[in-house]
Structure 1
Amino acid sequence: MNHKPVEGFSKLTKEGKTDWLVNEYLEGNVEYRKILQQYWNENPDLQKLHDEFSENTISNFYMPYGIAPNFLIDGKLFALPMAVEESSVVAAASKAAKFWLDKGGFKTTIINNEKLGHTHFIFNVESHKLLHFFNFNLKKKLLEATEDITANMRKRGGGILDIKLVDKTAEMQNYYQLKASFDTVDSMGANFINSCLEQFGKTLKQEVAISEDFSQEEKNSLQIVMNILSNFTPDCLVRAEVSCKIEDLKDDSGISNEEFAWKFKQAVTIAEIEPFRATTHNKGIMNGVDAVVIATGNDFRATEACAHAYAARNGKYSSLTHCTTDNGIFRFWIDLPISVGVVGGLTNLHPLVKFSLALLGKPSAQELMSILAVSGLAQNFGAIRSLVTTGIQKGHMKMHLLNILNQMGATEEEKQHFVTYFKDKTVSHHEVIHEFNRLRGQ
């Protein structure tokens, strides 16, 4: 089918958008229209709220919202909200939380809370002249020009921490940056940071124009390319860790505590040195992190980008978690750069986000950083524990069993049969089909 472009799609009503989409791309199939409309009718008020979160919204996309209990974090007990569709993520996190519950739980430390943004500009000028201009004039003017923007943030204890001139001309001709660090307290701070940076760009242009430090030709060469925050925040960093005596590991897989500790450390070391393993290793960490990030209304794409950039900060992609087994002590930890907020955005709009934050005791942004790092560490512990003992598929496929049965149209009675059937067996897709056909006499 040759589809036609549409004019003014955003101006159509939701019904109009749906009609056009179904008629143009789905051959007028009313079943597809019903799929979209079922969410409108379930909760019209909620759908209207969601319609205004994003552009051209025609329905909702639901994800499972689960709870991982028994997380002892810095002496306080938490139940973590997790919005995730992948089988076994919530189960693995819960199992890891329970494992560490009687061993002191998880300990966290906020290492730093700085967020970054840049004004990127091209300026055909000698770097020493620009540096002198920055130190003796521009930096002060930038802070003065943003006083109104930063007033409320400063009242809450945050604001602009520092501004630096960065010379990047060795990498790109005439390229410089104004690199600013911020403390945005309990907000993620994207709008605040970007507003400050855009003012930096205006002020830079104005101050250069009236400066006697530069020739007219140099002034004419100044071009502000862009003003934008960075989602790489290596100095907005939290550490989460667990530790115990190796003799107290008490794994129930049938191997000794010493062998478990040794194999676990080898698995982490492999992820530290082998990028192919590190990618999957860190993906598992982010299973735990993203699930709570989404449940609390934060930006999981920014979280992912930052974590993976940090994992490659030394020029080679590596594990975000680390392990030692020195002097009879097992220690496992993560240093996670993560920028999140508990005010602004969806935090006061999305009902389940409000519920999640209330469930977590209405944490500060730093407390949420700690919770997220713990969730990632727990998920990674659970995954490695399975890998070095029973294998990853035993638990994962058992959780995936219901997905397979639902695809095959199994009844509730048949589902119960399969849960019992696989109680002491490893689930495989082939074996499910074989037993399903046997059960139905096919």
Structure 2
Amino acid sequence: MNNAVAGFSKLSKEEKINWIANHYFSTPSEAISLLKNYWNTDDKIQRLHDEFIENTITNFYIPLGVAPNFLINGKYSIIPMAIEESSVVAAAAKAAKFWSTRGGFKTTVINTEKIGQVHFIYKGEESKLYLFFAQLKSKLFEATESITKNMQKRGGGILDIILKDKTNLLPNYYQLHATFETKDSMGANFINSCLEQFAKTLKEEALEYELFSEEEKNIQVVMSILSNYVPNCIVRAEVSCPIEELAEKHILNPQDFAEKFVQAVQIAEVEPFRAVTHNKGIMNGIDAVVLATGNDFRAVEAGIHAYASRNGHYSSLSHAKIENGIFSFWLEIPLALGTVGGLTSLHPLVKLSLEMLEKPSAKELMQIVAVAGLAQNFAALRSLTTTGIQDGHMKMHLNNILNQFEANDEERVLIKKHFKHHVVSHSAVVDYIENLRKNV
């Protein structure tokens, strides 16, 4: 069956859904009903959602939860988290509560510099290009004044522009490497607009530069685009306390726990196979808050994982030590976030999430997101080095299994009571449900 379609984007939402249902589903009416069931009942909100992306047919819901009791720099916050994975929100909340009685989380924004590049090909003498750039630089700033004036009023703008020779990587390859301060906006549109103007000015001025030969004047701009790798847009989050204060229900010997915890982090620092899973746990917390606040979690993921490889091998984002009887655990990560522009002023739940966080600046949001990542990592490592990760995770996953098998209220009570004292696994739950139903 040929399911190619012409002019799909021009169809109405109803027509798109009907076409999909009739071409791909054995019972089109059920597919149509399911898709429409997830439309928002408020037409205004649904129209807003429809216009976020192209070819919208429905909404795909992810739960929005909250993790309370985060003491950050002496101030309590409740953190919104949009995520579908069991136990993430519970683990974050548990870690927050644990550290709230041990001094809380301390955070510092180290830098907020963002990067954009004009990638171009120049076939000529390198010395001439550098002489040309010396004259060009001020003109690049002048050419973007109309773009940067509002950002400059807020204390941001273009920080610097340098010429980079990359001919050791590719023949005739050079960059205009620019750094930016975008204050409370993530700044993608601002940066890209500046870069495109840089490219235009570069080409125009090259044609007029008298020292260039005809071939040298013909600079080829390949692309102008911001980078999601922001190694100078860094935030640090940390916790620390005397080792004896680590004691609690599952930590009867705090010295042993601290030493084992540090060893677990050290393994992630040197073993990439462990580091990937270790950092994925950190990203469980980071992505959930980034998504809840309307930021681009794909860009954040790409930049953070690149940062984890900056020393030539993939390594842990977090670090731990014991020094003079003090246990310390921390991470430093690159985060390019915004609290104005984009979805932050459009998506109702994003606006709610930011208001829940008391309308943070971009710097404040960087700190909150970093803390969520550190808390998630602490919770995971505490489980791994004490009771094991599956105990808590599978108990949280129990609800998903019960929903999968459509357990009724009476069955849920009996099943949850049974698995309070038995190991939860998918097969064990399925066997118990089947036996329960056989005996009814």
TM-score range, shorter chain: over 0.9
- After TM superposition, list the pairs within 5 Å mapping 1:201-240 onto structure 2: 201-220=199-218, 222-240=219-237
Question: Could you tell me which residue of structure 2 aligns to residue 81 of structure 1?
Answer: 80
1:238-295 residue CA offsets vs partner (Å, 9 max, x unmatched): 0000000001111321540001001100000000000000000000000000000000
Match of 2:388 among 386, 391, 404: 391
Tell me the distance in 1 between the aligned counterparts of 2:338 and 2:2: 42
Match of 2:155 among 149, 154, 157: 157
Tell me the distance in 2 between the aligned counterparts of 1:98 and 1:378: 10
1:101 maps to 2:111: no
Tell me the distance in 1 between the aligned counterparts of 2:248 and 2:185: 40
Q: Structure 1 residues 424-433 or 228-237, which shifts more?
A: 424-433
Let me know the Cα RMSD of the aligned residues. 1.0
1:347-366 residue CA offsets vs partner (Å, 9 max, x unmatched): 11111000000000100000
Amino acid across the alignment from 2:172: N
Tell me the distance in 2 between the aligned counterparts of 1:209 and 1:416: 78
- After TM superposition, list the pairs within 5 Å mapping 1:24-423 onto structure 2: 24-27=23-26, 29-40=28-39, 42-135=41-134, 137-220=135-218, 222-423=219-420
Per-residue deviation, 1:4: 2.8
Amino acid across the alignment from 1:409: E
1:438 maps to 2:435: yes
Question: Could you tell me which residue of structure 2 aligns to residue 21 of structure 1?
Answer: 20
Give the conservation status (yes or no) of the 8 Å contact 2:122–2:172.
yes
1:207-264 residue CA offsets vs partner (Å, 9 max, x unmatched): 10001120112113x1000000000001000000000000111132154000100110
TM-score normalised by length of structure 1: 0.98
Question: Could you tell me which residue of structure 1 aligns to residue 8 of structure 2?
Answer: 9
Tell me the distance in 2 between the aligned counterparts of 1:353 and 1:254: 38
Amino acid across the alignment from 2:118: T
Give the conservation status (yes or no) of the 8 Å contact 2:36–2:58.
yes
Per-residue deviation, 1:305: 0.3
Per-residue deviation, 1:416: 1.9
| SS of equivalent to 2:275 | helix
Per-residue deviation, 1:41: 5.7
Amino acid across the alignment from 1:142: L
Tell me the distance in 2 between the aligned counterparts of 1:150 and 1:254: 54
Amino acid across the alignment from 1:349: L
Q: Structure 1 residues 27-36 or 200-209, which shifts more?
A: 27-36
TM-score normalised by length of structure 2: 0.98
Tell me the distance in 2 between the aligned counterparts of 1:293 and 1:166: 32
Matched residues, number: 439
| SS of equivalent to 1:42 | coil
Give the conservation status (yes or no) of the 8 Å contact 2:281–2:380.
yes
Give the conservation status (yes or no) of the 8 Å contact 2:91–2:376.
yes
Tell me the distance in 1 between the aligned counterparts of 2:227 and 2:40: 40
Tell me the distance in 2 between the aligned counterparts of 1:269 and 1:100: 22
Q: Which runs of 4+ in 1 moved over 3 A?
A: none
Tell me the distance in 1 between the aligned counterparts of 2:81 and 2:2: 39
Tell me the distance in 2 between the aligned counterparts of 1:41 and 1:223: 48
| SS of equivalent to 2:295 | coil
Amino acid across the alignment from 1:294: L
Percent identity of the aligned residues? 63
Tell me the distance in 1 between the aligned counterparts of 2:361 and 2:308: 26
Give the conservation status (yes or no) of the 8 Å contact 2:228–2:302.
yes
Give the conservation status (yes or no) of the 8 Å contact 1:393–1:426.
no
Tell me the distance in 2 between the aligned counterparts of 1:82 and 1:37: 26
- Structure 2, unaligned runs of 5 or more: none
Amino acid across the alignment from 1:124: K
CA pair 257-115 structure 1, distance change in 2 beyond 3 A: same
Amino acid across the alignment from 1:115: K
